[in-house]
């Protein structure tokens, strides 16, 4: 693989269910990010990780959790999905967590009913 992959591509989920969105990068980037994109709004940062073993909260972290067990993987978990979490989710990575360019995965379109 080259770059960032996300899975699944899309998912329809019943409210209250648990869901993990997967993100893997093969660029050996230290920093990784999860954003959500909603119509009419800019991308909003959910969680980030500047290096393996560390995570931080972004602008809209409530209802989401992340882990960073290794450099390549950065899964995002919705413990109990709600309809307001219907969105397109993008994972991104950058060499470091400062001014480096962020590169985005193809996104996961999630619908919570």
| Binding residues vs other proteins (CB under 8 A) | 40-45, 48, 58-59, 90, 97-99, 101-107
Q: How far is the CB of 34 from other proteins (least distance, A)?
A: 12
- Shortest approach of other proteins to residue 104 CB, angstroms? 4
Nearer to other proteins, 72 or 97 (CB): 97
Rounded to whole angstroms, what are the CA distances from 33 to 12, 15, 52? 23, 25, 12
Asked whether the beta carbons of 48 and 39 are under 8 A apart, the reply is no
Distance CA 80, CA 86 (A): 13
Compute the distance between CA of residue 16 and CA of residue 2 in angstroms, rounded to an integer. 34
Q: Which is nearer to other proteins, 72 or 105 (CB)?
A: 105
| Least distance CB 80 / other proteins (angstroms) | 26
């Amino acid at each position: 693989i080259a770059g960032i992959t996300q899975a699944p591509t899309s998912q329809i989920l019943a409210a209250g269910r648990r869901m993990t969105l997967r993100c893997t990068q093969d660029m050996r980037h230290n920093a990784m990010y999860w954003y959500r994109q909603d119509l009419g709004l800019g991308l909003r940062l959910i969680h980030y990780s500047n290096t393996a073993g560390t995570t931080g909260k972004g602008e809209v972290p409530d209802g989401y959790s992340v882990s960073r067990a290794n450099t390549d993987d950065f899964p995002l978990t919705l413990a109990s999905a709600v309809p307001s979490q219907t969105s397109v989710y993008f994972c991104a990575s950058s060499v470091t967590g400062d001014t480096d360019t962020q590169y985005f995965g193809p996104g996961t379109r999630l619908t919570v009913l």
